[in-house]
Structure 1
Amino acid sequence: MATDSVSLTSSAATGAEAHKFLRRIERLARFLIRGKYEDHGGLWGFQMDLLKLQREIQASVTTEKREARINKGQSDKLKDLQHARWSSRRLGDAFAWLCLGLDEQSIFALSQNAPVPISQESHGSRGMVEISRYLSSQGWGFPLIHDVTDCLRIGDVTFMRPEGDQRSLRTVELKTRHMGETDDEQPLMHYEVSVTFLSSEENPKMEFIADVDGREEDLPVMPPPPTPPEAIFGSTRADRRIDRQTQRMAAALARREAKHGSVAEIDGRKTLTTIIESSSVPHWRALRRIIRKARSDGYASECIGKAFTYAAFYAPDGIEVESVQDPRLFEDMKASGFLNSGKPARNSIEIASIPTDEQRAPQHFLPYFLYSIPMRAVFDMLHGRLVVVVFTNAGHIADALEECGFEVNIPPTKSAPSYAMELSSLVTHGDVKYRFKTNSLGRHVAQCIYEMKGIDHLIRVVEVMQKTAVQAVLERDGDQQ
C-alpha cells in the first residue's frame, strides 16, 4: 500500500491572522470564479491584489518561522499561514489557467523549472509591474505576471494578445536595476529603473530606461549600484546566468509551439509531442453528488471505474483526523470491488487529497478553484470544512490497460505505483514490427485523479501516444529510404 499525506486544516483551529488571509483569498476567488470583469482592468486589479496578498502572507510566514526557531517548538500558527500561502498560490495557478485558455501544453512548457519563491516589494519588482503595464498599453497584450503563480516557473511575464480565436503568447524575462531616485515632489518619489529583456524570440535583448513613480513609504530608499549596469550584465558569471535563462525560455517556447506528432530536440533530448483530445466526460456530477451527501451526513463516497474511489468528508467546524476515519468507507470500498484487482499481487492503495498539499514539483492539473462544483463547496475546501480523499488502486489501472493490449510492469518504487507504471506493446506495420514503450504516465494519472477524468481518459492517452510514436517512426524510416 502506498500512501500520500492527507492535509487537514480545521477552520475552528485556524489562527486569527491566517483566517483573515483565507477570507481575503475567498473574496478574490469569488471575483475570479464569477467572471464579472468587463475588461482587462478588472483582471489587472485582481492580479495586483493577489500579488499584494501573497507578499503579506509570506512576510507573516517569515516572522512566524523566526519565532518558532526562537521558541524551538512546533507552530500551529505557521502551518495555518503556510496553508494560506499555498491556497493563494493555487488561486494564482487558477488565474493562469484561465488566462491561458486552459491550454495544458503552455502550462506544462512554462513549468519546467525549480519552484520560485514569492517576490517581495522592491525596486526590481515595482519596475517589472510598471514595465508590464506600459507594454500592455503599447499593444503587447495582457501581462500575466508569473510571480502570482506556482506553476509558471520560466520567465517573469507572459503577454497574451487575442488573434482571431487564438491567443498570441510572448514570454519574457525582465532584469531590472535601480539607477536612482529624486524626491522633488514630496511625498512622491521618482525612481529610475534600467530594464533588460531576455527572450527566446528574435531580437531577444531590449534595454531602455523606465521611470517609476511611487510613494516614499512604499519602497525603501536604496543607494545607487556600485558598478554601472553594463558592467554587471557584461560579467562572465552574469552571462552564464543569462544564457541558462534564455535556454530555458527557448525550451519552453519549443514545447509550447510543438506540433502534434512532431519530433523535436529540446534540451538536448528528442521529444515527441502528442496532443490528446479525449471524448471522455469528467465525472463532475459524481463529485457534486458525494459533496452534497457529505454536507448532510458527514461522509459519502463513490467508486469510478473501479480504479478510483472518491470520498468526501464534511464538518462545519473543520475536518479533524477522526472525521476521515469513518468505518463506512471500508465497507463501501469492499462492496464496489475497488480493493481487489484481477491480479491481487498488484493491488496497491494510494491516497491523495483535494485540496492538494504544496510540493516542490509543479502541479499540472486543474486547481480546485476551477472545479465544476458549487462555489460554496470550493470555499468549504479553502477553509478546511470539506476535504475529498482520493484512493487509487494501480492494479485496476493495469487490468484496464492490459485489456486494451498493453503489457504492464509496475517496478518496485517508493512513490505511487500508478505513476511508475511501464507500458509496452508490439505494433506490426506490414512486415515490420515495432515495440512501443513508455513510463511517462504520472502526469496523466494525476489528471485522472484531480480532474475526475477516470480510466477511460488514461486509456485514450496511451493509445494516442502509441499511434503518434509509430507514425513518427514510419515517417522517419520513410525519409531514410
Structure 2
Amino acid sequence: MAPVEPQREATGSTYTGEALALIQQVEAFARQLISFNFSTASDIWEFQINLLSLQRETQKSISNEKTRRKIEKTKDDSLQALQMVRQHARRLGDALAWTILGNDRGIIYPLGENDPVSIPHDNHGSRGLVAICEVLASRGWGFPILHDVTDCLRIGDATFVTIDGKERKTRTIESKTRHIEPPRENPTASTQYEVTISFVGHEAPEKDFKFDIELDPEPDPPRRPDRRIDRQAKRMHSALMKQSAQIDTPFIVDGSKAVLSRGESNARSRWGEVREAIAEARSTGYSSIKIDDAFMCIFLYNSAGLSAEAITGEERIVSDIVQSGILSKGDPQYGIVTSFLPEEPKRSACNYLPFYLYSIPPEAICDILHGRLVIFSAAGVGAIASAIEDVGFRVEIPKSDHPLHSMRIFSEISGPSGKRFTAEFGHLGIHFMECAHEFMGVEYVQDVILTMKTSTEKTLPGIIGD
C-alpha cells in the first residue's frame, strides 16, 4: 500500500456522528487541562464534575448502541468508536489525577492495583460522595480527587491532597450512602440516608465528625449489605502500607514481607526527538526514531484521520524495525513487543504518564485524540534481556504471549554472614511500559533493577532474619 499521504491541516477525525460530537467535548476539556486554565480550586472541582458528566453521557451512548445492535442485528464500528471515546475521557481523568498528585507514582500505582471500575450512575451513592467531598474539603482536608473520574485510581472513592511546601500529603476514603426506609407507621416521614466513611490509617482532622448533606429525596432501590466493603477496606490498607512504607525497610502487606525501594535514573524521556519526529510526520505523513538498541518509535499522520488499513499497510514500519537493529541484539527468537497510542481499553490500569501530559504541542495531543496521529512503539525483547544481562543479571524468558511481563530476572546477592542467595526480581512489566510510552531507553529498566538489587541486599537480614 502507498505511504500515508502528507497533509498539513488538522481538520479531520476518525470519528463520525455521535462519537465525533463526544470526542470534540473531550478535546475541549483536554485543551483546558493542558493550558491549566483554572483560576481557583473551585474551577478545577467544577472541571472534574463536568468531566464525570461527560463520561456518563458517553457510557449512556455505549449502552444505547449495544441495544440498537441487538434490535437491528447489525454490526459496525460505532460501538468501538464510542468505547475509544470513553477510554480517552477516562485517561483525561487520569491526567487530572497525575497533575494534582504531582506525578508521584508512589501514590498513584498502589491505588491502581484492582480490577477496572465502571463509570457510576448518577445516583445517591455518587451524589453523596460529591457532597461529602465538598464538606471535607471545606474543613481542611485538601482538594478531593474523585476516583470515579479516573481509570488509574481503583481503590477507595476519593483521595484528598494537601500541599505543604514541596510535600504532598494524601488521605484516601471509601464512602457508602444507604437509603433508610421510613417507619411503617409514618411512611411519609422525611427521607433519610446513612453515610459511612472509611479511613484506613488516617485520623479525621477534627473530633466532631458529624455533618449534614442534602440529597435528592428519590431513594435508590433497597440493597443487601455490600460485602465488597470489607474487601475494599483491605485494598485500601494495602495501598496505604505501600504508600507510607519507609524506604529500604521491610514491612508486612497482604500477609507477606515487602520492601519499598527508590532510586534515581539518568534516563530521560526523549521529548526533543519526539517533537521533531511529530513535526516531520505532520509534514510527510511518516517518521521514526530509535531510542536505543532496544526501543524505537514510529509516527504516522494523516489530517483526515488514519484508518486501520492505512496503519497496517504502511510498509516502512517493518523495514524500519529491521534496520533499527533492535532485533539483532540479543536472541532474535523472542521478537518484538508493540504498543500503540492511542491505547485500546484494557483490564489493567495504564501505569504510565497519560499522553495528555506529554511534552509535545497541544495540537499533537489533539491529533492523537482524533486518530490523526498514531504512535507505534516497538521493543526488542532479546535486546532488553541482553541489556539486563550486561549489568550482571541472569534472564529467562518463558514462552508467553506477554514475554516482557513474564520475564524472570535473577541475581546472586550476599546475605548475613556472607552467605550467598539467589534473588528473583519480577513484576517489571510496568517499567517496560513506562519506557515504551514515555520514550525512555532500556537504561531506565537497568537502573530500576539495580536499585531493587541494592535494596534487597540492604534489607535481606530483616527479611530472612539475622
TM-score by length of 1: 0.87
SS in 1 for 2:454: helix
Residue of structure 1 aligned with 2:426, choices 421, 439, 443 = 439
Partner of 2:214: 212
Stretches of structure 2 that go unaligned for 5 or more consecutive residues are: 1-10, 183-189
1:111-160 CA-to-partner distances (Å, cap 9, x unmatched) read 11111100111122112111111111111111111000011111111111
Residue of structure 2 aligned with 1:222, choices 218, 221, 235 = 218
CA–CA separation in structure 1 for the residues paired with 2:291 and 2:222: 63
Please state how far the C-alpha of 1:13 moved relative to its aligned partner: 4.7
Aligned residues: 445
Q: How well do the aligned residues superpose, as a CA RMSD in angstroms?
A: 2.4
SS in 1 for 2:112: coil
Partner of 1:301: 288
Stretches of structure 1 that go unaligned for 5 or more consecutive residues are: 1-9, 182-189, 214-218
Partner of 1:252: 239
Residue of structure 1 aligned with 2:412, choices 412, 420, 426 = 426
- 8 Å contact from structure 1 (residues 315, 323) kept in 2: no
- 8 Å contact from structure 2 (residues 14, 372) kept in 1: no
CA–CA separation in structure 1 for the residues paired with 2:110 and 2:14: 39
Which shows bigger deviation, 452-461 or 125-134?
Answer: 125-134
1:2-44 CA-to-partner distances (Å, cap 9, x unmatched) read xxxxxxxx95452221111111111111111112323211110
AA of the residue aligned to 2:325: G
Residue of structure 2 aligned with 1:340, choices 320, 325, 328 = 328
Distance 1:175 1:206, change over 3 A: farther
Mapping 1:385-404, distance limit 5 Å? 385-404=372-391
AA of the residue aligned to 1:259: Q
SS in 2 for 1:109: helix
Partner of 1:31: 32
SS in 1 for 2:214: strand
- 8 Å contact from structure 2 (residues 116, 348) kept in 1: yes
- 8 Å contact from structure 1 (residues 159, 170) kept in 2: yes
Partner of 2:249: 262
Which shows bigger deviation, 374-383 or 468-477?
Answer: 468-477
CA–CA separation in structure 2 for the residues paired with 1:17 and 1:269: 49
- 8 Å contact from structure 1 (residues 368, 378) kept in 2: yes
Distance 1:383 1:476, change over 3 A: closer
Partner of 1:124: 125
Partner of 1:277: 264
SS in 1 for 2:306: coil
Please state how far the C-alpha of 1:322 moved relative to its aligned partner: 3.6
Q: Is 1:19 paired with 2:20? A: yes
- 8 Å contact from structure 2 (residues 22, 58) kept in 1: yes
Distance 1:224 1:249, change over 3 A: closer
Which shows bigger deviation, 262-271 or 328-337?
Answer: 328-337
1:376-431 CA-to-partner distances (Å, cap 9, x unmatched) read 0000000010000111110110111111111111111122x122211112234774
AA of the residue aligned to 1:199: F
Partner of 1:473: 460
- 8 Å contact from structure 1 (residues 154, 249) kept in 2: yes
SS in 1 for 2:212: strand
Which shows bigger deviation, 32-41 or 404-413?
Answer: 32-41
CA–CA separation in structure 1 for the residues paired with 2:167 and 2:191: 37
- 8 Å contact from structure 2 (residues 250, 462) kept in 1: no
Please state how far the C-alpha of 1:164 moved relative to its aligned partner: 2.7
TM-score by length of 2: 0.90
Distance 1:290 1:243, change over 3 A: same
SS in 1 for 2:327: coil
CA–CA separation in structure 1 for the residues paired with 2:192 and 2:275: 53
Percentage of pairs with the same residue: 37
Higher relative contact order (CA 8 A, sep 6+): 2
Partner of 1:187: none
Q: Is 1:197 paired with 2:202? A: no
Shift >4 Å, 4+ stretches: 10-13, 202-209, 223-227
Partner of 1:384: 371
- 8 Å contact from structure 1 (residues 194, 210) kept in 2: no
Please state how far the C-alpha of 1:295 moved relative to its aligned partner: 0.6
- 8 Å contact from structure 1 (residues 364, 443) kept in 2: yes
- 8 Å contact from structure 2 (residues 13, 305) kept in 1: yes
CA–CA separation in structure 2 for the residues paired with 1:381 and 1:84: 12
Partner of 1:74: 75
SS in 1 for 2:89: helix
AA of the residue aligned to 2:53: K
CA–CA separation in structure 1 for the residues paired with 2:81 and 2:432: 29
CA–CA separation in structure 2 for the residues paired with 1:14 and 1:242: 39
- 8 Å contact from structure 1 (residues 193, 212) kept in 2: no
1:181-219 CA-to-partner distances (Å, cap 9, x unmatched) read 9xxxxxxxx975431111212568998563326xxxxx6
CA–CA separation in structure 2 for the residues paired with 1:192 and 1:28: 36
CA–CA separation in structure 2 for the residues paired with 1:322 and 1:112: 35
